[in-house]
Structure 1
């Protein structure tokens, strides 16, 4: 009996059991965790809000890119989602990654993971991207939030909404130009040439992003943390890159080689960036020097994450934390309060956003900085649409229509929290609470 293709297998609501637990949402739609009746394990179901063709494209890319370092797709979902039982929904059925993403790991640890684990993650990401490139695909949205972690903290690439067939792989065939014209992804991980209108996507895009990813995984920081889109777009084209001052290259064997690789990957000239095969040569060699310590490093992190009431905190020095000094982002300044205030509920925050929509369209500036802080709540293709708008008013309209409205109370509350921190005077003038 022939095996059925993963992309032809239809999985309906009748094949699933138990509670549908929402684990993510944004402009793209929603992600649920639910148990499969026959398989007896939990899966993730990504439901798209609007563009059915988009999810089919993403699912097909994931199917072609099937390997141990890419998120596995099991099939296509079609059915009604309890308890809402709305109209028939369509989406992708994928493996459920219990440990979130590299970004959530860094947040939980308040800094970088132990050095051996950081190297293993870097190695597995490089293996995944190298496999994509061998299939003539470019991910084009490589960043910590798109690297998911399984129960043992192994890495898999996810979110292929922006993946495109590589222009270089197609020898610039005119018949395939349309597939390569749309470029997106988090602007802090985009190469300087990608900010040009005429840019066509090639593998060197991922190489640049990987260099920034390496910096993030070593330091535990978000690159250009306080810089807005306009400043980043300007400065990286002039040669600015994340600071290397926080990295003591003598603190761990191989760290100097890794820093050298970062700089090669984020070179301003795409032709000078190494291929992922070359990256793997460096990463594999550095990781081999620390591989014996990986079990203890993973156990250390899992023990901390699973400890009752474990709070995010600045990591304590240990024999595995070789590069953590001055690496964790700190925010010691607290917002001052003018007298006692009540704590707003998520519903109150969402109502504030809805009630003040017109004023927010006109008065919110630096919209891309807010979009970036919303993270995975904004789908990658929605990000590209917002980015293409010329004015902050138009960007706000797209953000509201594509993300805030469909994301509901949770996303609007998150938007409010960002506003009260970055635009406190605006929130106060509109009657909001600065809790």
Structure 2
């Protein structure tokens, strides 16, 4: 009996050892293949069709059924387009940016530095240059090309093309948007210009919501909505940019990511905790942008009181405590202009809905857009449009019962648990 037990134990240990060795071997082979792929992509060629890379992202898996893949492989062999995007010669882009002169630098995007450039045909462009060449950056590079070639909208930045197959670096070429970002004008280097009146800010909100609603109809989640990614043209019209983190998603499917991605202060708390990604993650981030437009404050500012470092927390606290006037940018004339007070209050209520912790309690981007369009329709002397159901309510004053009387003030948006609270009339 003892010999039998010893034999079984030895056989069990031996089998376990074999399984472990096989697992280690498979892991080594996989790592070797990944390194080989990255080396090939970076040193010799533009990335091949994502279908050849394995299941690195949800975009790869979902998009294998997309017709762009069947055509892109043929196109790249011809050396003319990639996912339908024009392939530029590296030397042309080097020349356009004066050898990536630091004086031409426009800013930094999600995964690269952006330079001002002029192409040989006279087009003024913005050229994004990757920080470093590794698998993650290559994935983001390929992802942005794919997303931008699938969409065309006046409020989304246009991709002109990317670097050639044999480029030394991976570069993206966009239309040049001359007027900086919304962040620049709200709390950055252009914040003293006074050009972002409340009328302009409300239009920015509507155009951004229009762009995001369009993306969601195309089954695309932006995943990095923030004021730094909302560009403004010379007429202060919106161009939403930076799709390196964006993802395609099938209808009624929630994407699960291995780790939260995005920008602190804008990340959906439910995604941050559970790694569940839906279009409502963009809605939360857009809610933060709405508060920025109201307040001209940064999404995260460590110079503020510790309870107010996160702007979303600060906004919900002020709204619930009937202290919206403490949040609003003084330059907007909130206390003196009836129409501004009405519409700012309504937008604040909409932002509150977008900032709910549970995604099911947030409106869709289509609903957000509809609400903003209704708010825009408010005229001097008219009643405020109730953004919940289209019923009419009157102006809300700071000494009224107010927006959210029945909810105690929270420490953060995470503790907000009611969808929407009745707005009381004067």
When the two structures are superposed, what TM-score results if normalisation uses the length of structure 2? 0.57
1:141 match: 224
Aligned-partner Cα distance in 1 for 2:218–2:318: 31
Aligned-partner Cα distance in 2 for 1:76–1:207: 30
Deviation at 1:216, TM superposition (A): 0.3
1:395 match: none
C-alpha contact 2:302 2:309 (8 A) present in aligned 1 = no
> Aligned to 1:283, which of 368, 372, 375?
372
Change in 2 beyond 3 A, CA 1:235/1:105: closer
Aligned-partner Cα distance in 1 for 2:308–2:314: 10
> Aligned to 1:75, which of 161, 185, 192?
161
C-alpha contact 1:45 1:77 (8 A) present in aligned 2 = no
Deviation at 1:94, TM superposition (A): 0.7
Does residue 271 (structure 1) correspond to residue 360 (structure 2)? The answer is: yes
Deviation at 1:117, TM superposition (A): 0.4
> Aligned to 1:190, which of 267, 275, 279?
267
C-alpha contact 2:158 2:175 (8 A) present in aligned 1 = yes
Deviation at 1:5, TM superposition (A): 7.3
Task: Give the 5 Å matches for 1:300-319.
Answer: none
The structure whose RCO (Cα within 8 Å, separation 6+) is larger is: 1
Aligned-partner Cα distance in 2 for 1:232–1:165: 34
Deviations 1:52-101, CA, capped at 9 Å, x for gaps: 23211112112223211111101112389xxxxxx811211111111110
Aligned-partner Cα distance in 2 for 1:144–1:238: 17
Does residue 59 (structure 1) correspond to residue 142 (structure 2)? The answer is: no
Aligned-partner Cα distance in 2 for 1:276–1:232: 26
Deviations 1:240-281, CA, capped at 9 Å, x for gaps: 557633334756142222121111111222111111111111
Aligned-partner Cα distance in 2 for 1:59–1:131: 18
Does residue 36 (structure 1) correspond to residue 119 (structure 2)? The answer is: yes
SS of aligned partner of 2:239: strand
C-alpha contact 2:85 2:160 (8 A) present in aligned 1 = no
Larger radius of gyration, structure 1 or 2? 2
> Aligned to 1:126, which of 191, 209, 219?
209
Change in 2 beyond 3 A, CA 1:93/1:269: same
C-alpha contact 1:215 1:242 (8 A) present in aligned 2 = no
Aligned-partner Cα distance in 1 for 2:315–2:203: 29
Does residue 102 (structure 1) correspond to residue 185 (structure 2)? The answer is: no
Change in 2 beyond 3 A, CA 1:25/1:140: closer
C-alpha contact 2:143 2:245 (8 A) present in aligned 1 = no
C-alpha contact 2:206 2:369 (8 A) present in aligned 1 = yes
| Equivalent residues, number | 275
Deviations 1:354-373, CA, capped at 9 Å, x for gaps: xxxxxxxxxxxxxxxxxxxx
Deviations 1:191-241, CA, capped at 9 Å, x for gaps: 221221x3210111111111111110121111342279x978999799955
Aligned-partner Cα distance in 1 for 2:314–2:348: 20
Unaligned stretches of 5+ residues in structure 1: 81-86, 291-435
> Aligned to 2:283, which of 200, 207, 214?
207
When the two structures are superposed, what TM-score results if normalisation uses the length of structure 1? 0.56
Deviations 1:21-75, CA, capped at 9 Å, x for gaps: 222347833222111212x221111121213232111121122232111111011
SS of aligned partner of 2:171: strand
Change in 2 beyond 3 A, CA 1:122/1:236: closer
Aligned-partner Cα distance in 2 for 1:236–1:105: 20
Change in 2 beyond 3 A, CA 1:227/1:58: farther
Aligned-partner Cα distance in 1 for 2:253–2:112: 35
C-alpha contact 1:13 1:79 (8 A) present in aligned 2 = no
CA RMSD of aligned residues (A): 3.5
Deviations 1:129-156, CA, capped at 9 Å, x for gaps: 0011011111121111010111221111
Change in 2 beyond 3 A, CA 1:42/1:101: same
